[in-house]
Amino acid sequence: MTHVRQLARSAVANILLGNPQAVPASPVYPIAEVQNRIYPNRPTPVWEVELPAICVYTKTETATPGDDEKIPKWYNRKLLITLEILVQVESGFDDLIDSIAEKVEALLLRHWFLPDPANPGVPLTDNLVMKGTDIVFVGEDANNVIASGQLTLEATYSTDVFYPGVPDRLDSMQASYNIDAAKGDGHPGPEAEDIVTGIYTP
């Protein structure tokens, strides 16, 4: 079963990549400076020849328990998604970071939520907002310095204890039984009624 954090990284990468398969012979990517160098789970360092590039991380998530009276127990989660824009430090590098960041923000923040990568019409998260930007420098020596512009987004979603993904959530159920209905006053007999409310379907 795939966790929402993994799906969120893939969803971000998919949005930034656009739909290059529409013209596979000559793909056009939304962020021209980066092309397809967008990595939702990069296992190795990014080399100078691959710059500029974007790495997507989900490093921080908080969880708040929902109503204790609801079964199954569920959690409201806030997931911080970091998009790290990596560029070579040279003349105008800060302008390059800002240019890429502007395109990243325009592509992502037009969405109220992140879509499920497998079902683009289905929300994966409840909300998507910008939290901030930070620019730092990384590298081992003065001759090979890389600048990193880190954009942080926050996505919210809910899970229950049985499923790490976005669940259907049953908020409450009421059952009643009326044994006095069968008293010869025209009622057909004992009556039972079940009332289910608050079904959460993202």
- Decide which of 20 and 31 is more confident: 31
Average pLDDT for the chain: 79
pTM assigned to the model:
0.73
Residues composing the chain: 202
Does the CA dihedral 165-166-172-177 come out positive or negative?
negative
Q: Is 100 within 8 Å of 150 (Cβ atoms)?
A: no
pLDDT score at 162: 59
The pLDDT of residue 194 is 56
Which residues are registered as beta bridge partners of 177? 192
26 DSSP 8-state letter: S
**Three-state DSSP class for 188?**
coil
Looking at residue 53, its pLDDT comes to 95
Evaluate if residue 94 carries a pLDDT over 60.
Answer: yes
Q: CATH for 4-167, among 3.30.70.260, 3.20.20.70, 3.40.50.1360, 3.30.70.1700? A: 3.30.70.1700
pLDDT digits (tens, 9 = 90+) for 33-66: 999 999 998 878 888 889 999 999 998 999 888 7
What is the per-residue pLDDT across 174-185, written as a single tens digit (0 to 9) for each? 555 565 555 555
Rounded CA-CA distance 179/57 in Å is 59
pLDDT number for residue 92: 84
Domain boundaries, the chain: 4-167, 170-202
pLDDT at 202: 44
